[in-house]
Structure formats: structure tokens, C-alpha cells
């Protein structure tokens, strides 16, 4: 079973060393193409023609891309106001120093959680569904789904903004878990995230009424197994006809390696502040990069698609719903 690893590319390197035995001395690119040859690369349906953002937009409007896989990370949540807790100096980690964590990432370590769950629940209070609103990047994916062109969205984010934007749970793989469900750490009884809301919001550690154990939201901690749902990547990525990667540094394995798991002939669009992962060290002719501000990049794509009015209407309708709902 796949486990969450915080080391740069190490998950892939470790797997390769185990599988091939003779991996030492090979370049990451060589290793990468060998590793993913079973997922469709290598047969080489690629062309040398360099694609552009307009080509991608045209392919989407002409419905040539109907099995789009989207991968996202923290960079699509920061425009909603969520601090990036992986960036030292600007993120939630710094705000959590008042809890005297031995080191920042201890907040996602299960042994530390068992000793002291308070800092994690301070983070949970901040990120619990309802505090922030999804933005154009989330609604773009919902629109893609509405048009019947979304195969699956893979997110590293734990803020639940994808669900909030109306992307159905079955179209989502929340690779690092979710606050929408929770599990008792002792008797394993399942809870709905809403059952914990009042405790989380009042700063109380939630306990299981049955056994008094601490109830932990289903967020994946370091060293914990990824959700079973994550294994959908085995069928999703070889099926994809377009990959869109947004707002991620592609640093956390095994999520990071997925960008190389689509067939070589499949276009990959990166909308991100910087070039990352295989878009730097294993670039393909079919790759398109829209670098800079993620929201700006998304707006450029939406304009090229001619989907602006439709997307605005979708976002406005949701904003009205939120304004009409009774405050808690």
C-alpha cells in the first residue's frame, strides 16, 4: 500500500531501487521513463509539434479531450486566502509555533498526535469546511465536470474547497485526506465531519462517545496509508487524454510522480508560478506551461476557451446560495 512520503522524489527512487535492483547510476529521467513504461509511455505516440495554450483550449471546446485528469496543490488554495503551510515564513506552520511543536511537520505525525492532538486541532479549526470560499480554479474543474469532460481531480489539499465548489466526491481523489469524515483512533468508529464541528470550532479535542478515544479527521499523516481511492490512478492516468496540473510544487510523493504517468502522446498543461517536476527534467513536446500567478493563468485559459460567462454564472449562483443560507 502506498504511504505518504515527505521526501523529494525519494518515494520514486526507493520504489525503483526495490523493483529494479540495478537502478544506481541512472538519471531520474531514465528511471522515470522505465518506471512508467508499463503505464503507456515508451510506445511513443508522441509528436514533435509544440502545442500552445490555444491548442489545448481548442481541443477542449471541440471535445477532443473528454477524459481530463486534473492535479492540484496548495497553489490553488492560496488565492482563497488559505495560508500555504509548506512555505516557511508565510504559512500556517509559523502561526502554530505557539504550540511548541518540536518541529513544524510534527503536526502531521501520528505519534506526536497521539501524545498531543491540540496543535492539529488548532489547524483543523482554521481549515474546517466553511471558513474559506473556492475560487475560479475550483469552479473551472466543476465546469469541466458539468461538460462531461472531467475524468478525475487529484488534490493534495485538505481544505475541502473542491467539494465546496460542487465537484462530486466520486470525481475527487483527496490524496491527503479530508475533514469531511473522521475516525475514532481507538474503536475505529466512523463519523461525519459535521458531527465534530462544534468541538473543533470551540477548540475542544473531540472524543468518541462510545469509547472516549480521540476522534481524528481522516487527514493522511506522514507514514499513514493513502486513501484506497488513490489507487484509481492506476486506471485513470493511462485513460487520460489531457492532464492539467495547477498550483503544486510536485514535491510530495507519491503524488509527485503521477504527472509522468499519462501516455507520452497526451498533452500536459501546467498552470503554476514556476516550472516544476517533469515539466523541468522530463519535458515533452506536448507539454504546455502557463507560468506566473495561478488565477491569472486560469483566466487566460478560460478566455481562450470562451467559457467566462458560463463560469461567472456558476460562481455567482453559488455565492448567492452561501449568502442565502442561515449563519451558524
14 marked as binding residue: no
Distance CA(161)–CA(127), nearest Å, equals 10
CB 135 within 8 A of CB 162: no
Q: Is 182 in the site for Zn ion (CB under 5 A)?
A: no
Q: Is 317 in the site for Zn ion (CB under 5 A)?
A: no
Which stretches within the chain are classed as H helix?
10-20, 28-36, 53-61, 92-95, 110-115, 118-127, 136-146, 161-164, 193-201, 233-239, 278-281, 294-305, 308-324
Q: Is 118 in the site for Zn ion (CB under 5 A)?
A: no
86 marked as binding residue: yes
| Closest separation in Å from C-beta 283 to Zn ion | 50
Long-range contacts of 59-65 (CB under 8 A, 24+ apart): 59/242, 59/267, 60/144, 60/149, 60/242, 60/305, 61/305, 61/306, 63/149, 64/241, 65/149, 65/241, 65/242, 65/267
Q: Report the residue from 8, 23, 186, 291 that binds Zn ion according to the rule CB under 5 A.
A: 186
| Residues of span 205-234 touching Zn ion by CB under 5 A | 208, 210-211, 213
Distance CA(251)–CA(232), nearest Å, equals 20
What letter would DSSP give residue 78?
G
Closer of 7 and 187 to Zn ion (Cβ): 187
Closer of 188 and 319 to Zn ion (Cβ): 188
| Closest separation in Å from C-beta 193 to Zn ion | 16
Closer of 205 and 239 to Zn ion (Cβ): 205
Q: Report the residue from 7, 19, 118, 187 that binds Zn ion according to the rule CB under 5 A.
A: 187
156 marked as binding residue: yes
Q: Is 313 exposed, middle or buried (0-12, 13-18, 19+ CB in 10 A)?
A: exposed
| Closest separation in Å from C-beta 210 to Zn ion | 5
| Closest separation in Å from C-beta 188 to Zn ion | 7
Q: Is 196 in the site for Zn ion (CB under 5 A)?
A: no
Closer of 129 and 213 to Zn ion (Cβ): 213
Across the beta sheet with 242-246, the strand order is 172-174, 150-155, 68-72, 242-246, 268-272, 287-291
Closer of 50 and 210 to Zn ion (Cβ): 210
Tell me the catalytic residues. 176
Q: Is 54 in the site for Zn ion (CB under 5 A)?
A: no
Pick out the residues of the known binding site for NAD(+). Answer: 74-78, 84-86, 156-159, 248-249, 272-274
Pick out the residues of the known binding site for Zn(2+). Answer: 184, 187, 208, 211
Sites of contact with Zn ion (CB under 5 A): 184, 186-187, 189, 208, 210-211, 213
Amino acid at each position: 500500500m502506498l504511504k505518504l512520503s515527505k521526501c523529494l522524489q525519494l518515494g520514486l527512487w526507493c520504489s525503483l531501487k526495490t523493483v529494479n535492483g540495478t537502478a544506481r547510476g541512472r538519471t531520474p529521467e531514465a528511471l522515470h521513463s522505465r518506471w512508467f513504461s508499463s503505464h503507456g509511455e515508451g510506445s511513443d505516440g508522441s509528436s514533435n509539434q509544440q502545442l500552445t495554450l490555444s491548442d489545448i483550449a481548442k481541443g477542449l471546446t471541440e471535445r477532443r479531450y473528454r477524459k481530463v485528469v486534473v492535479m492540484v496543490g496548495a497553489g490553488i488554495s492560496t488565492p482563497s486566502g488559505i495560508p500555504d503551510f509548506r512555505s516557511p515564513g508565510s504559512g500556517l506552520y509559523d502561526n502554530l509555533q505557539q504550540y511548541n511543536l518540536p518541529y513544524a511537520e510534527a503536526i502531521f505525525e501520528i505519534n506526536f498526535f497521539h501524545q498531543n492532538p491540540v496543535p492539529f486541532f488548532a489547524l483543523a479549526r482554521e481549515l474546517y469546511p466553511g471558513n474559506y470560499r473556492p475560487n475560479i480554479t475550483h469552479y473551472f474543474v466543476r465546469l469541466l465536470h458539468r461538460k462531461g469532460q472531467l475524468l478525475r481531480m487529484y488534490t493534495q489539499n485538505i481544505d475541502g474547497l473542491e467539494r465546496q465548489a460542487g465537484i462530486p466526491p466520486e470525481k475527487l481523489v483527496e490524496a491527503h485526506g479530508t475533514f469531511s469524515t473522521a475516525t475514532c483512533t481507538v474503536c475505529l468508529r466512523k463519523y461525519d465531519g459535521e458531527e465534530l464541528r462544534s468541538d473543533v470550532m470551540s477548540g475542544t479535542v473531540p472524543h468518541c462517545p462510545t469509547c472516549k478515544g480521540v476522534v481524528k479527521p481522516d487527514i493522511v499523516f506522514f507514514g499513514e496509508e493513502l486513501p484506497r481511492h488513490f489507487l484509481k490512478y492506476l486506471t485513470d492516468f493511462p485513460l487520460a487524454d489531457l492532464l492539467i496540473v495547477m498550483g503544486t510544487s510536485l514535491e510530495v510523493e507519491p503524488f509527485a510522480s503521477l504527472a509522468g504517468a499519462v501516455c507520452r502522446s497526451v498533452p500536459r498543461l501546467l498552470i503554476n508560478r514556476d516550472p516544476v517536476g517533469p515539466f523541468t527534467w522530463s519535458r515533452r513536446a506536448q507539454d504546455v506551461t502557463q507560468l506566473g500567478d495561478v488565477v491569472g493563468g486560469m483566466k487566460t485559459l478560460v478566455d481562450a476557451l470562451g467559457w467566462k460567462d458560463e463560469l461567472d454564472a456558476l460562481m455567482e449562483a453559488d455565492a448567492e446560495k452561501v449568502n442565502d443560507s442561515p449563519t451558524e
